[in-house]
Amino acid sequence: MWPSALLALLFAEAPKDLFERSEVVWAMVGLTASLIVGAVVIYAVDKWRKRADTGPSQADEAATLTSYRAMYEAGEITEAEYAVLRQRIADRVKKPAPAPDASASGAPAPTGARPSAAQQATTEYAPAPPANPSDPPPPA
């Protein structure tokens, strides 16, 4: 009931141009501003989420290791604690070995799949047999 009453009030005096009414202009300005603010918030949240997914960079890890080194030199942590912390950071920085490709292990490729680059480089293809058996074989 409230929206219909608002519409009735808004259009009771129908001017020639709807945009001459200050209420309509301000409503459009407010709606446009709300949409822009919403888009900026969505963009900022998306960037924050993507940055959180990537994890710490190597520069962050280097800064952490530097702070641990300073703590060790200041005598705040022992050499054994420093070694453990340094090893943890080294393990995080090292890239895990990629999982072996199923096609490289000799397993048959799924039907319809193209051979991998490694298979193409190592597989020798025999020339196709001639379409007509009486044709001479192609030169090698």
Summarised one tens digit per residue, pLDDT across range 63-78 is 888 899 899 999 998 9
Please give the C-alpha separations between residue 51 and each of 44, 47, 64, 65, in angstroms, as whole numbers.
11, 6, 18, 21
Residue 69: helix, strand or coil by DSSP?
A: helix
Q: Quote the domain boundaries for residue 68.
A: 56-94
pLDDT exceeds cutoff 70 at 50? yes
Residues 73 and 63 in one domain: yes
Q: How many domains does the chain have?
A: 2
pLDDT of residue 17: 74
Q: What is the mean pLDDT of the chain?
A: 75
pLDDT tens track for 21-44: 788 889 999 999 999 999 999 999
Residues 24 and 37 in one domain: yes
Does 38 fall in a domain? yes
Does 50 fall in a domain? yes
Does 128 fall in a domain? no
Does 119 fall in a domain? no
